Amino acid sequence: MHDHTRRLLAEIAAVFRAENRTCADETADALAAFAGLEAAPELAEDDSDAIRALLATSPLEVAHAALAAHDALPWGRNPVAARISPKDNSLYRVADLLGPDGPLVCPTLRAGLYYQRPETRYGLHSHAAVETYVIIAGRALWTAGDAQREMTPGHSVHHSTYLPHACETGPEGVVALWRWSGDIGIDSYRIHHGHDAFGVAA
């Protein structure tokens, strides 16, 4: 096992526990059951330098833990990638840590890391799962239902089931923790405006 990933799991669990929310505590408990991650395969298209550089700018301990563990993290495609065109799907990266398909197997929760490239927009989408994002590096303009907010490290946003949400980045890009609970099946995932919802930010 990888000491850096053990530390990262502990830091993520600490961030979730600070939310004081039942699903966050359950995810922290699930993460705490694992000793770490095995080494992951390298990215096919390498965003590693950008992710590392962005994590290094963060004031948060969890971001430094993610930087130290970077080589062992399974940065790859979104689990819903089959519903998104390859071009649009390249706007961001997801590292699944906890979930039904692993790498840390949990049948009822999903959690991991999210990276979105600079000057891109991940347009309005929704799903049955209850979701939380916690920004750990960079910044993003977040839309959640009727609300819109500039999010920086330490800020979090909670999406109730089927609440439409979107994320737009500026010159820095963004790295976040994310968590799904409730109905975590991916079949309900829906993009609200088709592929027009994706692209380079105006």
Q: Interface residues with Fe ion (CB under 5 A)? A: 131
The residues pairing with 177 across neighbouring beta strands, listed in sequence order, are 113, 134
**Least distance between Fe ion and beta carbon 23 (Å):** 14
Instruction: State which residue, 75 or 180, has the beta carbon closest to Fe ion.
Output: 180
Instruction: State which residue, 131 or 168, has the beta carbon closest to Fe ion.
Output: 131
CB burial string 125-157: b at 16+ within 10 A, e below: bbbbbbbbbbbbbbbbbbbbeeeeeebebebbb
Question: Which residue lies nearest Fe ion, judged by its C-beta?
Answer: 131
Instruction: State which residue, 67 or 142, has the beta carbon closest to Fe ion.
Output: 142
Rounded to an integer, what is the distance from CA 134 to the centroid of its chain?
Answer: 8
Instruction: State which residue, 6 or 83, has the beta carbon closest to Fe ion.
Output: 83
CB within 8 Å of 87: residues ≥ 6 apart? none
Count Cβ atoms below 10 Å from residue 86 Cβ, excluding itself: 8
> Does the bond joining 118 to the residue before it have cis omega, within 30 degrees of 0?
no
User: Sign of dihedral through CA atoms 89, 191, 83, 196?
Assistant: negative
Distance CA 94, CA 172 (A): 17
Instruction: State which residue, 6 or 117, has the beta carbon closest to Fe ion.
Output: 117
Instruction: State which residue, 108 or 188, has the beta carbon closest to Fe ion.
Output: 188
Given a contact cutoff of 8 angstroms between Cβ atoms, the answer to whether 114 and 142 are in contact is: no
**Least distance between Fe ion and beta carbon 131 (Å):** 5
